[in-house]
Structure 1
Amino acid sequence: MFVKGLKEGWNNIRIRKKMIGIYAISVLLPVFFVSLYLTYSMSNAVYSRMVNEAKTDTVRVRDRVNELLYLMTNISDKIYFDKQLKNIISTKYSSFLEFNNACKSYPALKEYIQYYSQIEAITLYVDNSTMWDNGFFVKTTDTVRKEDWYKAAVRSGGNMIWQCFYNNDNNSYYLALVRRIRIDDNGNYAVMVMRVSYSYLTSVIQNEKTTMLMTVDNDRIVLADDRKKLGTKIDLKGLTAVSGDSEQFLKDVSYENRKVFIVHDSFLPQKTRSTIQIINITPTSDITRQVIDTYTTGILIALISLVAPVMLMVLFTGNFSKRILFIRTQIHRAASGDLDISPGISGSDEIAELYKDLIKMIGDMKKLLQENYEHKLQQQKLLTKQNEAQFKMLASQINPHFLFNTLESIRMKAFVCGQREIATVIKLLGKSMRSLLELDDNPQPLKSELDFVRNYLEIQKFRFAERVDYTIDVQDGIDEKILKVLPLLIQPIVENAFVHGLEQKEGHGRIDIIVNRYNENIMVIVKDDGLGMEAEKLEEVHCKIKESGGKTGKSIGLSNVNQRIKLYYGESYGIRVDSSPGTGTTVWISFPEQCLKIYGRNDNQNAQGFNH
């Protein structure tokens, strides 16, 4: 009773008030809560995306730096084991000319700098007093021996270490690979310093949107977008000094009087004992700005979602009376016999449903009239088709078997009369005709196509007697019975070879057919030693082959074959023609081998054929 009373009460309410209640319950409240949820989710998504982008950028910079350092360690190994270099350092020189000649005979260090833009300089500090300083070789002084990097290199025992150096020439810091090189078994050694090109190193971070820093062993900065930061130490609370491979993430950290979040990625380059740190610094304000933009967008969407339904509701209530008047007018027209009423009411409420039923009823009436008319047309079409079928039956009364039986009778007569050659040719002709009648558009075994070509060649050989010879060569590993090809692709090419190449040639002629595999494709080559073509004629043939329907000239069969191949297998395949006067003509036909091994066409049409 309660439900029934509720329904009756609802039906008594005006539609305008119903719409307002439905709008408040089903639109206002859901949109409000959904907007809050989506705005919160979007802000979290923005934050997560910024963090993930920072991590990705850091990993990308780390990988590029690691590639650079790995290159320099490989070059360091070459220098470390270079016997000629050790011989130059250990030799005692009597004059500068002798030393200079020795350096000229060893251009390796200079070539490393020339060929590798990653290297800015290579310096070897030596204890040989008979050598002169020339940029590559520098005598070790007491001041150098007191340097921390020199002591670290001596202690390393030949292991490679990375150091942050100060360059007095341009008052700047740079990254260098330091290594002690043993010269002989007497304990003599040299210290190599291989300096990294700072311009190349900065190219690693030049396209980054955030601040990127790089340090060595948690010490001084050796790479930054601002050169003033080079050689300084980074001071970030919460950033732990680590060695080896590790990753840290800090948020809401103070850096240069602003809040930032940090992605810290450290790694140990191969063959070295120094840890490289990549530090990505992103201002928190960037995230805040995007979050605010997200909140603004969410509020704007919520307002649009709330205002738009109100406008629609006002439009509906104003249009309601028009809909009632419209349906009454259309019913009156239908009652008067006018069945061409307008489908002018949309929606799914009671008024719309009523009007749809009216339209359906009138539509059924019109359909009955239309079906009666179409039935008469169908009867007329059926009569026409019956007449066509009778005509085709009369035209097809000559059975193909009659033709084959006649040829067989002629062949037997020739055989009995001792004309075995004629009998053989008639047999080949019958096989060719039967093959043509049985062909359809489906791919057939390569063997069937080659047998058809072979029959054609034998018939032509009978015509030309000893003037014509041919060969058919199939590469080992190609199974003629399994491999499928489209029918009548090879025979038109062979026929062109006879008609345009050999018929008008004086003397002996030859056609060679080669089937082989090339880059997972099948290549069929038809080559004749006929008259050939001039360059202008060959260019004309090429143009007609590319056309979709050449009508004249030598390219009749070639154009059709080329278009069939491209339509079935794709634009990467087709035919190519080459010819020269007096030497003959060669035609290449390419197919995708994978497509040919199945009965139907598949999607693998992206394989490469040959370059046209």
Structure 2
Amino acid sequence: MIRMNLNYIKLRDKLLFMYILSVFIPIVVTNVVFYQVTTANIRSQKTRDAGVALNNLKNELRVTIDQGVGLSYSLYADPVFNDTLSRSFANHSEYIRAYNSYLIGEFSGQLSQGIRWYQVYTDNPTILSSGYIEHLTEDVRKSSWYKQLQHKMVPYPTLIATDQTLSLVQRLNNQDTGGIEQLLKIDFNMDLLKEQFRNSGFDGKVYLVDPGGHIRFSNYPKSEEPPNGKLYGDIEFPNQTIRFDRVYEGINYLEGWSLQGVMDEEIVLQEVRKSRSFVIWLACINVVLPTMIIAAISRSIHVRLVRILKHMKKVKTQNFQTIPPEDARDEIGQLTTEFNRMTETIRNLIDEVYLADIQKKDLELKQQQAQLHALHSQINPHFLFNTLESVRMRSLIKGERETAKIVHHMAKMFRKSISWNQQDVTVKEELELIDSFLQIQKYRFGEKLQYFIEADPSVLVYRIPKMVILPFVENASIHGIESTAGVGIIRLSVRTDGSELHIRLEDNGIGMSTARLDELMQYLEQNMDIGEHVGMKNAYSRLKLCYGDRFSFSIQTEVEKGTHVQIRLPLDDKHHEG
């Protein structure tokens, strides 16, 4: 289990960590919780208000429809009225007398605020179309409301919607009519219904839906086309909506009818959204002000501690520079004063006691190194050559030809590396040295390593700085091929390209990451030490000394896919083997 040790964290990070846990997170969480609770409360309140408004609209709509139902039942239950409509009159005069004496009185004063018009239809041929009584003609039977009525054979009134009109239709068959069809059609005051929908207080869309699921009336404004006649289920609403369902139950003439309310949640939370900017500004103030205070205090501590640490590191390199004094009485100021005193004391001690002794020991060490170097220089390199040759001959005698071959290549490489008395060699000599090296590497890796060296015959006589290709081949075999799991392949090609000598080295090794490649190129260009690739650094530096800006060098690599190295050298007469 990993345990966090606060002693490993920098002071500046500790202050930042303390600020985040103690100030930033509590403020953010508090504001988020406050906003969420406020949003939930307002949403709940708006939902309750919308439900109450929809219930009130449902009751008002029923009261209006009940006005028509009352009129319908009064005429349905009147035996004299029904008998008069179904009676066969001998002539028009007889019907007129009956109309004036009874029928016209039945209709007087029957209209109310919710009823715009009502009409009685009969197919009795002996009556005249007059006032509220009309013949039930074929055109009437072809109308939409009449066709809808035929699907409902019920004794109570039927609520029917057609073309922006809501009607109540009642069959007047309370008694035997002798085959005469008599209907009462009551049209409701649509202006009143629109006003009821508009003044309902429901902040959204309201739909009056019939038992078949079709929208028969809605509160759409005049600027929008109402969806009357469409299925309510086919209407597409935004994702964030609140739905309300108010169904008429237990009322035979309203059975299956319902009020559907749809309210956009964005509209519901519009008031909260308006206050969101205020909450954000308040949170910003609560965050920015403590941030500025903590940043000022943190800087007062961090900057001065870093300055002390910087001067401490200078002491390690024997630079006993004191810290400029400052007007500070806190612990850091006292630490600065004591550090200056300590620095002065150490410098005096070194000057007085240790410096002379160090100089004496340094002189003795240099003398010992000079003697050792003289002894090394006295060793004859031919002794090593003769020893390697003895090992090779002994291997041949024992039949160990492969070992003898490798020893021969080692002796050949060593002899050439120290016996070249010139700074440049021919391409042929460089490639022979590389071949010997790769033979040794193949002895080491076995079948895991395969290499191919290709060179145009015309380029073999050109002279190049010695050992400028070998370090890159060595890097490809040791760092690239050694760590790969499969067969490692190294390809080296040397050819002319116009006025340039083109050297291309490819391997299918482990490659390098982009960060590692940038670090390597920076190491080659600048004087910095990363602990490896010394041979590459040496070869690159000698190329810059010999050619200046006239040569080009590039490395292309990808992790697990290999590395390509390209070197382009200029060709001129002085680099040609005469």
> TM-score with structure 1 length normalisation?
0.39
Q: Which one has the largest radius of gyration?
A: 2
